Amino acid sequence: LELASQINDCNLDTTVVEFFPRLLPRQLDEECGTMLKDEIESRGIKVILSAATEEILGDGRVNSIKLKDGRKFDSDIVLIQAGIRPIIDLAKSANIKTDRGIIINEFLETSEKDIYAVGDCVQYKDQIWGIIPACMEQSKIVAASVLELKKVEYEGTTPKNTLKIVGLELTSIGTIDPKKEEGAGWEILKKSDKKDCCYQKIVLKDNKLKGA
């Protein structure tokens, strides 16, 4: 989205094709995602949700893209942002346990004793973080273990993201959609002003702040 905003600033027709049914599904809830889409489109960027590219067409250079639903769009430039995918071939060849990523325990240790893994390639409690703060936190824990300073358990990293696009500032921290979480005790406090494109939300569980 940041890249799309910059391209749009160059007075180029810009279209965002999003695989998920809303923008930034890991960072924004449905209401905020809709507000963001409306604001982006009001700035001249076209947004297509729940869509996937099937084919990039052209003869020596791109001239259009075809979506899986059959729609085609003329294009001079195609930029792909696909996120991260753990590369686990080395771990597999070493018979280290893997799933979507390299499986680690609470001390960042793999299934092989004294072999550790950190960063975008690891999977802990069925989650892959793919963010710099997680890698930094994990590295400190592993360094302490390897140097025999102390044993520290990894409790997961609170996700936090800040974006600046089309003149908007977005910040998301922690749990933003508690409907997907197990258990009760969730409370949501929010303030929404679509006219000024302002959305504020605090997520509590058992009176403790869990996200915003």
User: Which numeric CATH code is attached to 89-146?
Assistant: 3.50.50.60
1-82 and 89-146 agree in CATH topology? yes
In this prediction, residues 24-50 reach a mean pLDDT of: 91
* Residue closest to 24 by CA, chosen among 46, 2, 52, 54: 2
Over residues 74-125, the pLDDT tens digits come to 999 999 887 788 999 999 999 999 999 999 999 999 999 999 999 999 999 9
- Predicted pLDDT at 76: 92
* Model pTM score: 0.78
Q: How many residues does the chain have?
A: 212
Per-residue confidence band for 212, with pLDDT thresholds at 50, 70 and 90: very high
Tokens describing residue 27 = 């960072």
Q: DSSP letters of 169-190?
A: EEEEEB-S-GGGSSSS-EEEEE
> pLDDT value at position 180?
59
| CATH topology (fold) of 1-82 | FAD/NAD(P)-binding domain (3.50.50)
pLDDT of 181 > 70? The answer is no
Closest CA to 116 of 126, 130, 125, 106: 106
Domain boundaries, the chain: 1-82, 89-146, 174-212
pLDDT digits (tens, 9 = 90+) for 51-72: 999 999 998 899 999 999 999 9
* Coil, helix or strand at residue 180: helix
